[in-house]
Amino acid sequence: MNLESKIPEGPLAEKWTNHKFNVKLVNPANKRKYDVIVVGTGLAGASAAASLAELGYNVKSFCFQDSPRRAHSIAAQGGINAAKNYQNDGDSVFRLFYDTIKGGDYRSREANVYRLAEVSVNIIDQCVAQGVPFAREYGGLLANRSFGGAQVSRTFYARGQTGQQLLLGAYSALSRQIANGKVELFPRTEMLDLVMVDGKARGIVTRNLVTGKIESHSAHAVVLATGGYGNVFYLSTNAMGSNVTAAWRAHKKGALMANPCYTQIHPTCIPVSGDHQSKLTLMSESLRNDGRVWVPATKELAQKIRKKEIHPNDLSEDERDYYLERKYPAFGNLVPRDVASRNAKYVCDEGRGVNETGKAVYLDFRDAIKRDGEDVIAGKYGNLFDMYKQITGSNPYKEPMTIFPAVHYTMGGLWVDYNLKTNIDGLYATGESNFSDHGANRLGASALMQGLADGYFVIPYTIGNYLAGEKYEKVGTDHEAFKEAEKAVKDNIDKLLSIKGSKSVDQYHKELGKIMWDYCGMSRTGEGLKKAKEMIKELRADFWKNVKVLGSNEEFNSSLEKASRVSDFLELGELMIDDALHREESCGGHFREEHQTPEGEAKRNDEDFAYVAAWEYTGPEKPETLHKEQLIFENVKLTQRSYK
């Protein structure tokens, strides 16, 4: 299989402009003849559905939540990047492009990343026009703050509620089109299969999560905006409903899955408190602007803190190790997430971690409060501080927060070309469900940027290029392909319900998550990955013999929902292991202990691994086939990342 990235010719800064001129257009009067399915209503999905409907297409929008407002995008806290250079501190489109390429450890496609940086400036204007209440400076200009991996302030924010406010903006645009009759919304509906007709994506099969009814929906094109697969680890910062099913079912119909081992571990999460937890809570990376990360300078002091013999406020400056500031003086506490996370692991592995488990470090605002005053800090982070206090019982105004890395975002996803089209004609993937923009590590505040860039400014152009060459005739849901897909979905549901084993779905999910975290988490080894592969195989075999799914299909059945999703996670987990095992290098969030510098940093192998690993499903119990898209760097020099 030849992976054609469809990158336009010409200079980097002119590619997107020239491409927009050269794509085929659909006559405005003809757009109403085309149907488009958009699965997912987060930032990528809601913005895409609203924009496509605004253009005149007939859109069907699907979400498994009861409202688009409950999409996981709402949980994003700290901000959205854009190269506006309002601070006059040296930012530019090229600098945002460069920081993103470097932050991803040179494992992303130059053309896609430059386009992302280029359209970022338009996103802010769009959102302000929608009424998104971004923070403002005293003079009325939009405020900015810094995020990891950058030495400029380019992150726009609405306190610690940026994702929520942006989603409400996209939701308002979507609601307008629903009221206009151009978008038909299907809440509490989950996609369970992709329907192919003559090699093209022509619809989906869904399950109504309230009644259990299996239904088919046809269209001329399908857009997946279904988020990431971080919940394969069970404990993550993702909403508990977040899953991989839509993307995975498309993968099993032929869509390539790219770089699945690239997982982002976020450094500032509230530490695990016990076996009872089903998810973890994120503390925004924006806190690292004013908070200082540290641990006790010695194991003995850390042990006394864990035993509550001394309080962290009692330690003098000499007894504290501000390890990020010490090791990375140029970036300090604002190093990228993968670097901050690994270093937190290192100091905890040394025995200098705090709290009862020893798996935590401090994020301390003492100096910032002393410098700026409590009111100023509360104005920036007040809702985050309140959330932290409600969860932990500790007051971060008076004592340092405790934080520890946790699974947060997945850089891998469905392979797409420059047009965001998968290798299947008519099937597109946007936002976190594709692999395209972040390489091996995503910089903070770039997820919201990508989701809205794809939905508002990319897919409306590129999907038209495809539809312009498609006939108006619709494929009815009585077509044999839809009947076969419906039968396959029903057979899978019946199989799950018929097992009647002794172990709950959550038990299997927890076991899978522990395997993935232990062997394919913050660091990986060849030996550990091989062991994990065998463990997952055994777990998956046991799942199909001993899982206990309660109830029936013809009802609201959360046990069945989970079982369907976990069965996909079990298969995905094995592919993630294969991908991590084959990549004999360290880059970004993929840290193979066999490949590191003397200082413990990631050591890439550009000669052998400067490519996108795109995996093709070949059938049950068969090894997947690896396809490679070579990454060509013409505008940045491949160098060892340094934040010192």
For residues 286 and 79, is the Cβ–Cβ distance under 8 A? yes
Distance CA 224, CA 36 (A): 11
Confidence of residue 307 (pLDDT cuts 50, 70, 90): very high
Predicted pLDDT of residue 567: 98
Amino acid identity of residue 376, one-letter, is V
Confidence of residue 276 (pLDDT cuts 50, 70, 90): confident
DSSP 232-254: GGSSSSS-TT--SHHHHHHHHTT
Q: Which helix (H) or strand (E) holds 47?
A: helix 43-55
Report which of 228, 235, 227, 286 is spatially closest to residue 262, judged by C-alpha positions: 228
Report which of 27, 36, 83 is spatially closest to residue 57, judged by C-alpha positions: 36
- Identify the DSSP state of 442: P
Q: Which residue in this structure is represented by tokens 């991803």?
A: 104
Distance CA 312, CA 316 (A): 9
Paired sense of beta strands 214-218 and 427-429, if any: unpaired
Q: Which helix (H) or strand (E) holds 630?
A: strand 625-630
What average pLDDT score do residues 258-286 get? Answer: 93
Distance CA 454, CA 449 (A): 9
Confidence of residue 273 (pLDDT cuts 50, 70, 90): confident
Percentage of residues in the chain having pLDDT higher than 70: 100
Phi and psi of 255, rounded to 5°?
-70, 135
Paired sense of beta strands 361-364 and 292-296, if any: antiparallel
- Burial (CB < 10 A; 0-12, 13-18, 19+), residue 25, is middle
Paired sense of beta strands 221-224 and 257-258, if any: unpaired
What average pLDDT score do residues 533-537 get? Answer: 98
pTM: 0.97
Is the confidence at residue 308, as pLDDT, over 90? yes
Is the confidence at residue 2, as pLDDT, over 90? no
Catalytic one of 69, 109, 337, 352: 337
Predicted pLDDT of residue 414: 98
Amino acid identity of residue 556, one-letter, is F
- Burial (CB < 10 A; 0-12, 13-18, 19+), residue 618, is exposed
Is the confidence at residue 274, as pLDDT, over 90? no
What average pLDDT score do residues 163-179 get? Answer: 98
Is the confidence at residue 511, as pLDDT, over 90? yes
For residues 619 and 635, is the Cβ–Cβ distance under 8 A? no
pLDDT tens figures, 175-208: 999 999 999 999 999 999 999 999 999 999 999 9
Count other C-beta atoms under 10 Å from residue 27's C-beta.
Answer: 9
State the average pLDDT for the chain: 97
What average pLDDT score do residues 198-220 get? Answer: 98
Tokens of 196: 């192919």
Phi and psi of 39, rounded to 5°?
-100, 120
Is the confidence at residue 569, as pLDDT, over 90? yes
Predicted pLDDT of residue 120: 97
Confidence of residue 43 (pLDDT cuts 50, 70, 90): very high
Confidence of residue 1 (pLDDT cuts 50, 70, 90): confident
What average pLDDT score do residues 352-356 get? Answer: 94
Is the confidence at residue 610, as pLDDT, over 90? yes
Predicted pLDDT of residue 109: 98
Percentage of residues in the chain having pLDDT higher than 90: 97
Predicted pLDDT of residue 154: 97
For residues 102 and 437, is the Cβ–Cβ distance under 8 A? no
Tokens of 355: 């709290």
Q: Is 337 annotated as catalytic?
A: yes
pLDDT tens figures, 373-419: 999 999 999 999 999 999 999 999 999 999 999 999 999 999 999 99
Amino acid identity of residue 470, one-letter, is E
Confidence of residue 622 (pLDDT cuts 50, 70, 90): very high
DSSP3 helix / strand / coil % (the chain, rounded to 5)? 40, 15, 40
Is the confidence at residue 433, as pLDDT, over 90? yes
Is the confidence at residue 275, as pLDDT, over 90? no
- Identify the DSSP state of 455: I
Predicted pLDDT of residue 584: 98
Cβ-proximal residues to 616 (8 Å cutoff; 6+ apart), any chain: 1, 254, 256, 624, 625, 626, 627
pLDDT tens figures, 63-117: 999 999 999 999 999 999 999 999 999 999 999 999 999 999 999 999 999 999 9
